[in-house]
Amino acid sequence: MESVIIVIHLLVVAALVVVVLLQRSEGGALGIGGGGGGGGGGFLTGRGAANLLTRTTAILAACFFATSLILTILARVSDKPSDVLDNVPAQTETQSGEGQPAAGGNGILDELQQRSQSGPQVPTSQ
């Protein structure tokens, strides 16, 4: 379901970009009817083109917001954990306030410290 909504969202985005680029700008950049007139038979002339492109932009913008909201709701409802920090186990601290983890911690630094205190492990000869 989510992948279908994403595809629809991408199609709406592409159409919205095209429609916005087709609109006439004050600089005459990519607008339709750049030279005035043309042989369109009045289909996309001045006011008609502006009304059609404005309505199309509004409809595509509404579809864009709708698909964005739907994707947000689907992502929130999914069974995945909502935050990476929710998966991190909390470590207890000592009462001294130094911020050192309590003895018997599971961290890599605790293991290295225990190994360095016990000395190197040398096999004995038999």
- pLDDT of 6 reads 94
pTM comes to 0.48
**DSSP secondary structure string for all residues of the chain:** -HHHHHHHHHHHHHHHHHHHHHS--TT-SS-S-TTS--SSTTTT-HHHHHHHHHHHHHHHHHHHHHHHHHHHHHHHHSSS-S-GGGGSPP--B-TTSS-PBPTT--SHHHHHHHHHHH----PPP-
Low-confidence stretches of the chain (pLDDT < 70) are: 25-49, 79-105, 119-121
> CB–CB of 67/12 below 8 Å?
yes
- pLDDT of 59 reads 95
- pLDDT of 18 reads 94
- pLDDT of 51 reads 83
